Amino acid sequence: MSESDVKVVLVPGAWADGSSWSKVITGLQSNGVSAVTVPVPLTTLDDDVAALDRTLERIDGPVVLVGHAYAGAVIGATRNPRIKALVYIAALSPAEGETVADVFYRNEPHPTAPKLGPDNHGLIWLPQEAFAAAFAQDASAQELAVLAAVQRPISPACISVPVGRPLWKDVPSWYLLAEQDHMIVAETQRFMAERMKARVSVHPVDHTPSVTAPGFVVDVILQAVREVRV
């Protein structure tokens, strides 16, 4: 099997859409690896896993599944047997019986982390100023404008439901630990990565390295792709 036979599926987290992976997609493509993103609705965790499963139905062959931030819970909750590796990009990885909120709020938040709460429709939006302060502080002004313009809100129902046995118990995992993350502090990331027994890559990057440091993200995904090659 060649690297090109392994497909990469990219799942955006809260407040992002598939465009947040654009630099990673082109970086993988230049290495002969194809990738698709998952249009998660961010309505409930079950809805998001169902959206992932529908995307996986359209793909043949072995899969390396990649999740950013909240999407770590999504990639851990699917059960598709063609998934051969999981890659967590500054992502949350609740254990069985935990919620996303349990791990997100495990440690004291960074001083610049935004205060989050639902609006009148029960949806959680990221405040405009939080993109530059916490979500992607290393991004250019142009990148920040796009991130803010395409942001998608998340429902509290996504983060308040205990998860079942996570897939990282059964397949190998990789973890990109973002040392300068102002949304999910590095201490929390390290705890989760070590609990998962993931292969950890540590970099001085912000919460959204797919935008601000895509080379590091591509590198860790390619490590997983090469490992699952038969």
* C-beta of residue 167 within 8 angstroms of C-beta of residue 83: yes
Summary mean pLDDT of the chain: 95
Q: How confident is the model at residue 1 (pLDDT cuts 50, 70, 90)?
A: very low
How many domains does the chain divide into?
Answer: 1
Query: Distance (Å, rounded) from C-alpha 14 to C-alpha 59?
Result: 24
Sheet order of strands, 199-203 included: 35-37, 7-11, 63-68, 83-89, 173-178, 199-203
Instruction: Band the pLDDT of 132: cuts 50, 70, 90.
Output: very high
- pLDDT, position 229: 82
pLDDT of residue 107: 76
Reported confidence tier of residue 4, pLDDT bands at 50, 70, 90:
low
Domain range for 166 is 3-228
Dihedral angle sign, alpha carbons of residues 204, 65, 155, 192? negative
Q: What is the pLDDT of residue 109?
A: 81
How close are the terminal C-alpha atoms of the chain, in Å? 5
* pLDDT surpasses 60 at 3: no
The CATH number linked to 136 is 3.40.50.1820
Instruction: Write out pLDDT tens, residues 46-69.
Output: 999 999 999 999 999 999 999 999
Residue 135 to residue 181: CA distance in whole angstroms: 8
What pLDDT sits at residue 230? 62
Does the pLDDT at position 226 exceed 50? yes
pLDDT digits (tens, 9 = 90+) for 65-117: 999 999 999 999 999 999 999 999 999 999 999 999 999 888 788 888 898 89
